[in-house]
Structure 1
Amino acid sequence: MVGITSYDTYIPMLRLLLATVAGGKAGGPEKAVANWDEDGLNAGTSEVQRNIIAQRVLGLPRA
């Protein structure tokens, strides 16, 4: 099989209150932000590696 066989998501743990940015009242909506040592490429690479390992453990065919 060729193509996308699995996918995953990653939401950073840190939160930024939008009121902090806009100078408004405390509380309200927030946004997930990456820490100084996190980036999309590294997060994606680690998830791909994790999915490959999971496929091997479960005995699923690899693409």
Structure 2
Amino acid sequence: MPYNRSATAVLDPAARVRQLHLVAAARVAAARASTPQQVADIVRVTVDDEVDTHTFAAIVTDCSAGLPRR
């Protein structure tokens, strides 16, 4: 069955980025990622070339905020 995006995501690219950000954050939390590399890997799979490099880095930084500092 093909993936069907909502009409909102198609009309508003910012809404799609917010949705991807929330999904990535939920996956990071569920996986209990403990390193920035694990977070980056999860985000990379989640966004799957739908965002630019700067947006990807911002999502990784935000999702890494709860990790312990070394």
TM range (shorter): 0.3 to 0.5
Q: TM-score, normalised by structure 1?
A: 0.39
Higher strand share: 1
Q: TM-score, normalised by structure 2?
A: 0.36
Larger Rg: 1
